[in-house]
Chains A and B, each alone.
Chain A
Amino acid sequence: MNQQASSTSAPKFPASLAANPKLSSWLKFSCNGQVTVSPGKVEIGQGIVTALAQIAADELDVDISRIRMIPASTATSPNEGVTSGSLSVQQSGRALRHASAEVRQIFLQLASERLGVKIDTLDIADGTISGPGNVRTSYWELAEEVSLDRDATPGAMPKLAPVRVLAGISIQRIDIPDKVFARQRFIQDIALPGMLHGRVLRPQNAGAKLTILNDARARAVAGLVAVVRDGNFLGVVSKTEHGAEGALQALRKSTAWSNGDPLPDANDLATFLKTQPLESTIIDKKTATFARTSERTIRRQYTRPYIAHASIAPSCAIAQWDGDRVRVWTHSQGIYLLRADLALALRLPADRITVEHVEGAGCYGHNAADDVALDAALLAKQAAGQPVRVQWSRADEMSHAPFGAAMTIEIEADLDASNEIVDWRHAIWSNGHTARPGRAAQPALLAAFELATPFPRTISTNPPQANGGGADRNSIPLYDFPSWHIESHRLLTMPIRTSALRTLGAQGNVFAIESFLDEIAAERGEDPVQFRLRHLRDERAKDVIHAVARRARWKPEKPTGTGYGIGFARYKNTGAYCAVVAEIASAEEISVKKLTVAVDVGEAINPDGVINQIEGGAIQAASWALKERVRFDRQRITSTSWTEYPVLRFSEVPDVEVELIQRPDADPVGAGEAAHGPVTAAIANAVFDALGVRARHLPITRDSLIAMMETSR
Chain B
Amino acid sequence: MPSVRFRLNGVETDIEADPDRSLLEILRGPFGMTGSHFGCGAGECGACNVIVDDRAVAACNTPLWSVADKDITTIEGLGSLEQPHPLQRAFIAEQALQCGYCVSGILMSAAALLKRNSTPTSREIKEALDGNLCRCGSHNRMVRAVLRAADAMAAG
Q: Which residues of A are at the interface with B, using a C-beta cutoff of 8 A?
A: 44-47, 170, 172-173, 175-177, 179-182, 184-186, 188-189, 191, 240-242, 310-314, 359-364, 391, 393-394, 608-609, 612-613, 615-620, 623, 641-643, 647, 649-651, 653, 655-656
Contacts and interface: CB of A to CB of B under 8 A. Distances in A.
Contact of B129 (A188, A311, A363, A650): A650
A362 B79 contact: no
Contact of A394 (B37, B40, B126): B40
Contacts of B132: 650
Given A180-B100, A615-B140, A651 B130 contact: yes
Contact of B101 (A240, A313, A649): A313
Contact of B99 (A184, A362, A647, A650): A362
Nearest to A394: B40
Given A45-B99, A177-B92, A182 B35 contact: yes
B70 interface: no
Contacts of B61: none
Given A242-B25, A362-B98, A616 B81 contact: no
A674 B133 CA distance: 23
Q: Which 3 A-B pairs have the closest CB atoms?
A: A182-B35, A45-B99, A619-B137
B138 interface: yes
10 contacts: A170-B95, A313-B39, A363-B99, A612-B98, A615-B137, A616-B98, A616-B138, A620-B135, A647-B135, A650-B127
B76 A615 contact: no
Of B39, B129, B135, B140, the most chain A CB neighbours within 10 A belong to B135
B92 A394 contact: no
A116 B127 CA distance: 68
Residue with the greatest number of chain B CB neighbours at <10 A, chosen from A44, A47, A175, A612: A612
A651 B99 contact: no
B62 interface: no
B103 interface: yes
Interface in B35-81: 35, 37-42, 44-45, 47, 75-76, 79-81
B148 interface: no
A45 B98 contact: yes
B40 A179 contact: no
Judged by DSSP, the binding face of B is loop
Contact of B136 (A176, A181, A620): A620
A175 B126 CA distance: 25
A364 B98 CA distance: 12
A172 B141 CA distance: 14
A336 to B, nearest CB: 22
A45 B100 contact: yes
B139 A181 contact: no
A313 B47 contact: yes
A258 B57 CA distance: 40
A51 to B, nearest CB: 13
Given A615-B140, A620-B136, A240 B130 contact: no
Given A240-B29, A641-B40, A653-B126, A175 B100 contact: yes
Contacts of A616: 98, 136-138
Given A616-B137, A647-B135, A650-B130, 20 more contacts: A179-B100, A180-B92, A181-B80, A181-B88, A191-B34, A312-B39, A312-B135, A313-B101, A393-B41, A394-B39, A608-B95, A612-B98, A615-B141, A618-B137, A619-B140, A647-B133, A649-B130, A650-B125, A650-B127, A650-B129
A361 B92 contact: no
A701 B81 CA distance: 44
A615 B101 contact: no
Nearest to A186: B101
B150 interface: no
Contacts of A650: 125-127, 129-130, 132, 134, 139, 142-143
A312 B104 contact: no
Contact of A176 (B79, B80, B92): B92
Contacts of A651: 126-127, 130
A179 B103 contact: yes
B112 interface: no
Interface of B: 21, 25, 28-29, 32, 34-35, 37-42, 44-45, 47, 75-76, 79-81, 84, 88, 91-92, 95, 97-104, 107, 125-127, 129-130, 132-143
A172 B95 contact: yes
B98 A656 contact: no
B104 A182 contact: yes
Given A176-B97, A650-B126, A188 B133 contact: no
B134 A312 contact: yes
A241 B102 CA distance: 21
B95 A181 contact: no
B139 A653 contact: yes
A314 B139 CA distance: 21
Given A311-B135, A612-B95, A184 B140 contact: no
Contact of A182 (B21, B76, B139): B76
Contacts of A361: 99, 101-102, 135
Centre residue among B32, B81, B98, B140 by max chain A CB count within 10 A:
B98
Given A45-B99, A615-B141, A653-B140, A182 B34 contact: yes
Contacts of B39: 312-314, 394
Contacts of A175: 100
B141 A612 contact: yes
Contact of A188 (B32, B38, B45, B139): B38
A312 B101 contact: yes
Contacts of A619: 137, 139-140
Contact of A642 (B38, B40, B76, B143): B40
Contacts of A363: 99
Contact of B75 (A46, A182, A241, A359): A182
Nearest to A173: B95
B85 to A, nearest CB: 9
Contact of A312 (B102, B129, B130): B102
Contacts of B143: 650
A613 B98 CA distance: 8
A612 B84 CA distance: 23
A47 B98 CA distance: 7
A7 B109 CA distance: 55
B49 to A, nearest CB: 12
Given A176-B91, A242-B29, A641-B42, A615 B99 contact: no
Contacts of A617: 137
A400 to B, nearest CB: 15
Contact of A181 (B29, B81, B137): B81
Contacts of B104: 180, 182
A180 B45 contact: no
A625 to B, nearest CB: 13
B76 to A, nearest CB: 6
A312 B133 contact: yes
B33 to A, nearest CB: 8
A642 B34 contact: no
B151 to A, nearest CB: 18
Nearest to A642: B44
B105 to A, nearest CB: 10
A498 to B, nearest CB: 19
Contacts of A313: 37-39, 47, 101
Contact of A649 (B84, B91, B133): B133
Nearest to B41: A394
A45 B136 contact: yes
Contacts of B130: 649-651
Contacts of A641: 40, 42, 44
A310 B98 contact: no
A676 B75 CA distance: 33
Nearest to A616: B137
A391 B107 CA distance: 24
Contacts of A173: 95
